[in-house]
Structure 1
Amino acid sequence: MVNFTARGLMPPVFTPLNDDHTINYGVIPAYAKFLADSGIKSVLVGGTTGEHMSLSVADRKKVVDAWVVAAKTTGLHIQVQVGGAPLADVIELARFCQDVGADSLLTLPELYFKPSTVDDLVFYVSQVAKAAPKLPVLYYHIPSMSKVESPWVPIMKAGMEIVTGIKVGPPSLPQKPLSSEAKQRIHSKLRTLGLSK
């Protein structure tokens, strides 16, 4: 198993889109710099917030590449969510991430032919790990999106040789509403980056 070196908060980043829904790669360097300047050390690219499940494999690769390039000047740890469907695309993305210099992988379970047992899920994650053996692989346990309800403790026990860790999605963690002042500060920063109007 490969060591997982990310530390601190790891926000899931948005995939910036133009008005015509094409990807605005040009704002990613400024977005990365803003996060790094704000004390962020690691980011998750392609999580639910990044909407990668709605992008083509080619676009997902370009987004990953843009973040990896931005990391060279910001020092950000780049974790990429590669899971989904079909498995061949997941494996292709995992290999690509290793080749371009991402730091770690996160994988959802198969989303169409969902694993029906913990063993099936561990097998799936092992295929991702084999595709990128130099990267740590974490399992993304988010039943609200994946509809895979396997309890995550047995997944970790069964997959200890391949799974470096697990990200447990909501509603496992309590959420607190933002104050109106915090919302205004965030909106102002997003406008500065060209991510909001």
Structure 2
Amino acid sequence: MGDFKLKGLVAAPFTPFHENGDLNLTPIEPYMNLLLADGVKSVFICGTTGEGPSMTLPERKSLAEKWVQVGKDKLDAVVVHVGCGNLRETIELAKHAKEIGASAIASIPSVFFKPKTIDLLVDYMREISLAAPDLPLYYYHIPGLTGTDFPMYDFMEVASTRVPNLAGFKFSHMNTEDIMLCLHQYGVKYQFLVGTDSLLLPSMTFGSEAFVGSTYNFCGKPCNRVIAAFKNKDLEGAQKDQFKFLAMVKIIVQYGLNVATQKAMMSLSRIDLGPTRAPIPNTSAEQKEALKKDLTEMGYFEWIN
């Protein structure tokens, strides 16, 4: 476990649903093959993009089993997000992830009764870690959705001594100072996954090596070009694709920065994964057509291939 490290782009896959809302596992294998063709070799399932909190425990288990099964000897890593609304179900999913051979687990804190102190948050994460002691565990820091917003530097100061299989955290936040401090102090032993897609190029300048995001589902090739250009000290080349990426993000925001908009983009350019679940609103046919027009005008379909 001590040698486990994620590298490069890690897609946060969308969860396929039938039109009636039922889980649809059929597209998972062709979906994975599309990611691999784009150079995306690891996945972080059942998180925000995967609508994990909108799924039942049996559904989350079935989905995790399918990704581990199809990814065997093909994907570098399958990280399973196990966070639920309560600790007991989170522990159940953590144990299940271990049983099926997942590479690592991650978890948000509880979101209704929120931990009021860092000590309480660390205690919560420790209980999860003890349920799957042989799996690397990432804390999933996404305060905009969980409402738990402690500095990660302060969290690491406590968690590094009390959570035995802590691997680091997934950082879905814009506070780059916080993650930079963590990298400086704890970056040798721990890994801090950048979960804000628009920070891909900036975060590499301060040492980040792994990036978890929803957009890597459909723009893995240009984002891999950003990484390759940066490593080759071609800053101008990296900036070119990064600025194009930001133009794409501007369009996504225009149509609602949510899972439904990006699922629509997947169906336009990669694979149809069905609707989202309430309360996320689905993209209408008219919105989808307008989205296609705007993406075409920015050169999106040529850029991602």
The TM-score with structure 1 as length reference comes to 0.89
Structure showing the higher helix proportion among its residues: 2
**Partner SS state of residue 35, structure 2:** helix
| Counterpart for residue 167 of structure 2 | 164
Identity between Structure 1 and Structure 2 (%) = 32
| Aligned partner letter, 1:166 | F
- State the 1:73 CA deviation: 4.9
**Partner SS state of residue 79, structure 2:** strand
Is 1:3–1:164's contact at 8 Å kept on the other side of the alignment?
Answer: no
- Comparing 16-25 and 71-80, the one that deviates more: 71-80
The TM-score with structure 2 as length reference comes to 0.59
| Counterpart for residue 269 of structure 2 | 189
Supply the distance in 2 between the matched residues of 1:127 and 1:177 (Cα, whole angstroms).
42
Task: Point out the structure with max Rg over C-alpha.
Answer: 2
Deviations 1:115-150 (A, max 9, x none): 000000001111111011111001111110000011
- State the 1:52 CA deviation: 0.8
Supply the distance in 1 between the matched residues of 2:197 and 2:96 (Cα, whole angstroms).
35
| Aligned partner letter, 1:51 | E
1:59–1:150 distance in 2 versus 1, CA, 3 Å: same
Q: How many aligned residue pairs are there?
A: 193
**Partner SS state of residue 22, structure 1:** coil
- State the 1:171 CA deviation: 3.8
1:185–1:101 distance in 2 versus 1, CA, 3 Å: same
Supply the distance in 1 between the matched residues of 2:101 and 2:48 (Cα, whole angstroms).
22
Deviations 1:141-160 (A, max 9, x none): 11100000111111111111
- State the 1:36 CA deviation: 1.4
Is 2:15–2:273's contact at 8 Å kept on the other side of the alignment?
Answer: no
Supply the distance in 2 between the matched residues of 1:187 and 1:15 (Cα, whole angstroms).
13
| Counterpart for residue 177 of structure 1 | 247
Is 2:83–2:106's contact at 8 Å kept on the other side of the alignment?
Answer: yes
Deviations 1:66-85 (A, max 9, x none): 10011115224100111132
| 1:104-143 map, 5 Å | 104-143=104-143
RMSD of aligned Cα (Å): 2.2
Is 2:141–2:173's contact at 8 Å kept on the other side of the alignment?
Answer: no
1:134–1:174 distance in 2 versus 1, CA, 3 Å: closer
Structure 2, unaligned runs of 5 or more? 176-195, 199-245, 252-261, 275-287, 289-305
- Comparing 68-77 and 31-40, the one that deviates more: 68-77
Structure 1, unaligned runs of 5 or more? none
| Aligned partner letter, 1:165 | G
| 1:36-51 map, 5 Å | 36-51=36-51
